Amino acid sequence: MTSSSSTLNPAFITWEKQDALLLSWLLSAMLWKSLEKHFASKPQVQVMQLHVELQHLRKGMLPMVDYLQKAKLLANSLAVVGSPISEFDLNLRILMGLGPDYEAFVTSANARSDELSTEELNGTLLNHELQKEYFKLEFQSCPFSSNTAFRGPNNNNKSRVSLDQSSRYG
């Protein structure tokens, strides 16, 4: 300001604008750092939680399609938070969570010389479950028959064992 008039010095106005801009930048940087710190800790906890869930994933009584979707969801969630897992690790977690009903399947999958893709593994598992259901229904609908043995008299008064196979093809 000048003493004779009430007008502001243009240099002061420029300085005041620059000062406000600098203050805004500093506050923004401080706020950004604070937010970054706050949210950086949550993904780490989330990553750990997702890894634990994937490690403890079990098929149990879930239908195969639900089990595979759950595994894929966990893998996708890990990728979203910046901690993707390899296809090999995902396949391993899927196989390890199947349980004793799938022991033969897991053994044959592990014996393969080539690596299965997750899509191939999923398709094979879904097909395996369909076959298990088919056989389960097939054996429930057809009555079991057995061969029965009985002793009957023959010409020289000795007993002889004969097999009754009439119910076998019934």
- The full 3-state SS of the chain, as one line of letters, equals CCCCCCCCCHHHHHHHHHHHHHHHHHHHHHHHHHHHHHHHHHHHHHHHHHHHHHHCCCCCCCCHHHHHHHHHHHHHHHHHCCCCCCHHHHHHHHHHCCCHHHHHHHHHHHHCCCCCCHHHHHHHHHHHHHHHHHHHHHHHHCCCCCCEEEEEECCCCCEEEEEECCCCCC
Q: What is the structure's pLDDT at 9?
A: 87
Residues of the chain with pLDDT under 50: 159, 161-170
Q: What is the structure's pLDDT at 143?
A: 61
pLDDT tens for 147-170 read: 555 555 555 555 454 444 444 444
